[in-house]
Amino acid sequence: MSVLVTGGLGFIGARVVLQLLKRDISVIVADLDIEKNKERLEKNIDKIGKHKDLVSYQKLDITDYQNIEQIFKKNKLDCVINLAYGIGTICEENPLLASKINIVGTTSMFEMIVKYKIRRLVFASSETVYGAHQEFYGDKAVTENDYSGINNHFYTYGVMKLLNEFMAEKYIKKHGCSIAYTRPSVVFGYGRQNTAINWAEDFAAKPALGQAAYLPFSKNNRDNWIYVEDCAEQLVRLALKETLNYSCFNSGSETLNGHQLESAVKKFIPNAEINFDESVKSTPLIDDQNDERIRKEIDFNPRSFEEGVKCLIEDIRRNN
C-alpha cells in the first residue's frame, strides 16, 4: 500500500513526503510540474538516509478528471493527502482557473476516494475560513465550532476552502467515507514560492542572508504561527491514525505580536533589521486558534515559534 501526496513537490507537500519516508512508507508524489522541485526533494531524501525507491512520481493536472482517475486506477492506495491547490494571486487574478483547481479538482478527489474505496483522505484547509477579523470573535482563541459568513471574508482563497469543507462534510454524511482536514494558521519556513504571504519566510530569511526584512503590518499585529514541518506532521498523523474523532482540526501552535517576532529573530541574529508598516493595523486573518483538539487527537505538540525560527534560519543558510 502507498500514500498518494498531491502537490507533493510544494512547500508543505514535500515535507509531508519526507515525514512519510521517515516511517518507511512508500509514497506516490503527484504534481503538475515534476521536474521543477524534484531535485530539491531528492536531496532532502538523501539527507534523511532514505532510499529513492520508496518514491514514485506521477504528473497530475487536478483539473483533468481522467488524469486523476488514471492515478487511482494504476496504484493501490491506502490513503491520500491532497495538497494540490491554487494559492496566492491566482485566486484573485484568475478565478476561473482557480475554481477548476480548487473547487472542481478537490471535489474530484472526494469522488475518487468513494469510487476506489480509499481508507482516508486528508487535506489542508485554512484559517482563512474564519474570515478576516479577530474582532468578530472577541478576545478569545477561535475554535473549530466558530463560524462567520462570507461578508466577513477578505481572501477568495478562504471562501474556496470553506466550500471544500462543506463538500467534504457532504461526502462524509452521504457516503460514510473518512475525510479530515486541518485549518493551518500562518505556516512559516523555507521554500515558499509566490504566495500571498511570502513575509512568513522573509521575516527571518532576509536577516539570515544579511538583508532587511519588510513586513506588511504593524508591530502590534498578532498572528497565529506554525512551523511547516509541524504542519506536515499533523497531516501525516491524521492520515495514518486508524480512527478519528473529528473531521475538522485547527493547526494552532503559537500566537505572538510583531515585538515578539522581532525578539525571536534577534535571539539568533542580533543585528537583524526588521521593518514594520505601521499604517497597516493588522493582517486580514484571525489572531489566535484553539488547538486543543488536534493535540489530543494525534498526541503531538508543535515546536515553539522560537524553535521554528531557529530551524528556518539554519535551513536558509544551509541552502544558500
Choose among 227, 224, 223, 199: nearest CA to 213.
199
Predicted confidence at residue 185, as pLDDT, reads 97
User: Region 107-135: what's the mean pLDDT?
Assistant: 97
CA distance 252 to 260: 17
- The pLDDT score that the predictor gives to residue 218 is 97
Q: What is the mean pLDDT of residues 215-239?
A: 97
> Could you tell me the three cell numbers for 273?
533589521
pLDDT digits (tens, 9 = 90+) for 282-299: 999 999 999 999 999 999
Q: Which three cell numbers stand for residue 10?
A: 510544494
Residue 36's pLDDT is 82
H-helix or E-strand containing 191?
Answer: none
The residues with which 216 forms a beta bridge, in sequence order, are none
pLDDT at residue 180, as a whole number: 98
Give the pLDDT mean for 300-315. 97
Would you kindly state where each structural domain of the chain is located, as residue ranges? 2-189+228-253+285-302
The mean per-residue pLDDT over the stretch 255-280 comes to 97
188 pLDDT exceeds 80? yes
Q: Is the pLDDT of residue 217 over 90?
A: yes
> What is the mean pLDDT of the segment spanning 244-257?
97
Rounded CA gap, 81 and 5, in Å?
Answer: 5
Given this model, what pLDDT does residue 194 score?
64
Average pLDDT value for the chain: 95
Alpha-carbon distances of 39 from 14, 43, 44, 45, rounded to whole Å: 11, 6, 9, 10
Q: Considering the chain, what percentage of its residues have pLDDT values greater than 90?
A: 92
- For 139-143, the CB contacts below 8 A with 24+ separation are 140/288, 140/290, 141/255, 141/288, 141/289, 141/290, 142/250, 142/286, 142/288, 142/289, 142/290, 143/250, 143/290, 143/293
Q: pLDDT tens digits for 16-34?
A: 999 999 999 999 999 999 9
Residue in the block written with cell 506532521: 233
Task: Return all residues near 247 (Cβ < 8 A) that are at least 6 apart.
Answer: 168, 169, 172, 179, 180, 181
**What tens digit of pLDDT does each residue of 34-89 get?**
988 899 999 999 999 998 899 999 999 999 999 999 999 999 999 999 999 998 78
| Band of residue 143 on the pLDDT scale cut at 50, 70, 90 | very high
Cα–Cα dist 28/36, whole Å: 16
pLDDT band at 263 (very low <50, low <70, confident <90, very high): very high
Instruction: Give the Cα separation of 101 and 97 in Å (integer).
Output: 6
Least confident of 12-21, 148-157, 181-190: 148-157
10, 190 contact by CB (below 8 A): no
What would the DSSP string read from start to end of 139-182?
A: SSPBPTT----GGG---HHHHHHHHHHHHHHHHHHHH---EEEE
The reported pLDDT for the residue numbered 319 is: 85
Between 7 and 52, whose confidence is greater?
7
CATH of segment(s) 2-189+228-253+285-302: 3.40.50.720
pLDDT at 261: 98
pLDDT of residue 1: 81
